[in-house]
Every structure is written in structure tokens, then in C-alpha cells.
């Protein structure tokens, strides 16, 4: 899939989506769709008014931004750049099986996911966690599959993204690759996209806090840049889907307003 930049080319990409939406219409619907565009002034104006993407993130303390100023975790940084409406459920100490800190969520990923079932995200980002190191791999696989199935059932229209597990600046333990494989298998089974982002902190102790576990603010910025680059095609697809839905809804409203659809 070709990557389409979200920033300066977003309007152009969404105009293309409007054209695609129009191509599926005929007769009355097409005329009404053109009327919607005419009232806004242009297709590019309509595109610039596109809804924000709603994004739900599920992960551990690295995703949460442990030890860095508020708003400096990588999901918040991307949300600021790309205009997401972000719900970051990441929890200190939590994993697929490992229960998170009692001072935070006090739950594992499964319980966190269930607590957000009323949301309507366009994208769900699920990341494996080193908090699960030392636990049985067969149990981890079964739970990872179950959790991704729950995500798909709760959010049937969402784009689901699975991210590889992050480590620090040293060589990661062997179980990390097994956890990555579990996430990849579970995400693929529910029609999602698995993305291996590698280890951006590898060989860079200056990007880590003194605990050698959590990225500092500079490390979080590196993660944001790395992850944003690889998920941009997924963002684009979600934006196109949302824009087409908005265009079609506006078209129906135009038909009702003009008395041609009851």
C-alpha cells in the first residue's frame, strides 16, 4: 500500500475519497451529492471539514507515558499532530495477563478493553507488553486472541492495529519475539494490521529514563515519529471511510431537505 501523508496532503486525499463516493451514486443521489458540494463552496472545503478520527489505544506504561510530562506520551503526540480524538487506556504494569498497578487501572488488558465497550473508535491500537514476560506462552496466546476478538466484536467497523512490543536500549529477552508473534496472529485473525516497529530505543541510552525501562520525553518523541510513519496508510483509510460516510449522510439530508426523499 502506498503511504499518503496525513498533514499537508490530507485535503487532497479526502477530495479523492469524495470522488470515489460520488462514483458509487447515480441519478438522484449523485445530483444531491453535487448539491451538497455546491453549498459548501467546493470539494476541498467539504474535505477540510472532515470529522476527527477517534482513536483508542491499549497498552502499558510506555504507551501511557510513565515518567514524562502530561501530553508527552507518543499517542498524545500523534493525536496533537494529526487531530485525533484520543482515548488512551494504557495502564502502568498491565499486560495481556498481568494485572496493572493498583494505583492505576488495577486490571489487565482484557478488563480495560471491556470497560471501553461503549466507545465508537475509528482505529484501535493494541500493543504487546514486556509486563507479560515470564508468563506461560500458551496462556498468553489464548488470552491475546480472546482480547482481539473482543475488540473486533465491540468495534466491528474499526481499523485494528497491532504493534510490536517495545524494549529499551539493550538486547531484548527471547520471549519478546514470542509475544510479538502472538499479537500478530491475534490481530491478523480479526482482519487487523500488525506492524513491527522494531526497537527505536536500541543502542540509545540517552533516550531512556534512569530506570532503563521507560523512554524519556525525547524517547517518546522518537516513538511518536516512528509509529506515525508506519500507521499513516491506516489513518488515511480510516479518514476516507469516515469522509465517505459523512458525504453520503449529507447527501441523504439534502434529499430530505429538498423533498425528494421521505
Q: What is the pLDDT of residue 3?
A: 36
pLDDT at 6 over 50: no
Instruction: Give the CATH superfamily of 54-235.
Output: SGNH hydrolase (3.40.50.1110)
What pLDDT, in 10s, does the model give residues 154-192? 999 999 999 999 999 999 999 999 999 999 999 999 999
Confidence of residue 247 (pLDDT cuts 50, 70, 90): confident
Set of cell numbers at residue 62: 510506555
Q: What is the pLDDT of residue 89?
A: 97
Three-state secondary-structure class, residue 262: coil
Average pLDDT in the 62-76 region? 96
Q: What is the pLDDT of residue 128?
A: 96
User: Across the chain, what does the average pLDDT equal?
Assistant: 85
Question: For the range 17-22, what are the long-range contacts, defined as Cβ-Cβ under 8 Å and sequence gap of 24 or more?
Answer: 17/47, 17/239, 17/240, 17/243, 17/244, 17/247, 18/43, 18/46, 18/47, 18/243, 18/244, 18/247, 19/43, 20/240, 20/244, 21/243, 21/244, 21/247, 21/248, 22/247
Give buried/exposed letters for 161-170 (b at 16+ CB in 10 A, else e): bbbbbbbbbe
Three-state secondary-structure class, residue 157: coil
Average pLDDT in the 185-214 region? 97
Q: What is the pLDDT of residue 243?
A: 84
pLDDT at 7 over 70: no
Residue with the larger pLDDT of the pair 33 and 213: 213
| Listed residue (237, 233, 245) closest to 21, CA to CA | 245
Set of cell numbers at residue 121: 473508535
Q: Is the pTM of this model over 0.85?
A: no
Give buried/exposed letters for 225-261 (b at 16+ CB in 10 A, else e): ebbbebbbebbbbbbbebbbebbbebbeebbeeeeee
| Every domain of the chain and the residues it spans | 10-50+239-257, 54-235
Q: Which residue in the block uniquely carries the three cell numbers 506492524?
A: 195
What's the CA gap between 204 and 175, in Å, rounded? 22
What pLDDT, in 10s, does the model give residues 78-134? 999 999 999 999 999 999 999 999 999 999 999 999 999 999 999 999 999 999 999
Confidence of residue 1 (pLDDT cuts 50, 70, 90): very low
What's the CA gap between 195 and 219, in Å, rounded? 19
pLDDT at 140 over 80: yes
248 contacts 133 by C-beta, under 8 angstroms: no
Q: Which residue in the block uniquely carries the three cell numbers 529477552?
A: 173
Confidence of residue 63 (pLDDT cuts 50, 70, 90): very high
Amino acid at each position: 500500500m502506498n503511504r499518503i501523508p496525513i498533514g499537508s496532503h490530507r485535503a487532497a486525499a479526502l477530495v479523492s475519497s469524495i470522488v470515489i463516493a460520488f462514483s458509487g451514486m447515480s441519478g438522484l443521489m449523485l445530483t444531491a451529492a453535487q448539491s451538497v458540494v455546491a453549498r459548501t463552496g467546493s470539494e476541498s472545503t467539504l474535505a477540510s471539514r472532515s470529522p476527527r478520527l477517534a482513536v483508542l489505544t491499549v497498552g502499558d506504561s510506555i504507551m501511557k507515558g510513565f515518567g514524562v510530562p502530561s501530553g508527552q506520551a507518543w499517542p498524545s503526540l500523534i493525536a496533537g499532530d494529526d487531530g485525533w480524538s484520543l482515548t488512551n487506556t494504557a495502564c502502568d504494569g498491565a499486560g495481556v495477563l498481568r494485572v496493572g498497578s493498583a494505583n492505576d487501572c488495577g486490571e489487565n488488558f482484557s478488563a480495560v478493553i471491556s470497560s471501553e465497550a461503549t466507545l465508537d473508535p475509528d482505529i484501535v491500537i493494541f500493543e504487546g507488553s514486556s509486563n507479560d514476560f515470564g508468563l506461560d506462552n500458551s496462556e498468553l496466546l489464548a488470552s491475546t486472541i480472546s482480547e482481539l476478538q473482543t475488540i473486533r466484536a465491540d468495534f466491528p467497523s474499526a481499523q485494528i492495529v497491532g504493534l510490536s512490543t517495545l524494549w529499551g536500549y539493550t538486547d531484548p529477552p527471547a520471549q519478546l519475539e514470542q509475544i510479538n508473534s502472538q499479537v500478530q496472529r491475534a490481530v491478523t485473525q480479526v482482519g487487523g494490521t500488525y506492524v513491527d516497529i522494531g526497537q527505536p530505543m536500541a543502542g540509545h541510552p540517552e533516550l531512556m529514563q534512569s530506570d532503563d525501562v521507560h523512554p524519556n520525553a525525547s524517547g517518546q518523541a522518537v516513538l511518536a515519529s516512528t509509529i506515525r510513519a508506519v500507521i499513516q496508510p491506516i489513518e488515511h483509510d480510516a479518514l476516507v471511510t469516515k469522509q465517505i460516510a459523512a458525504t453520503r449522510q449529507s447527501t441523504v439530508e439534502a434529499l430530505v431537505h429538498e423533498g425528494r426523499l421521505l
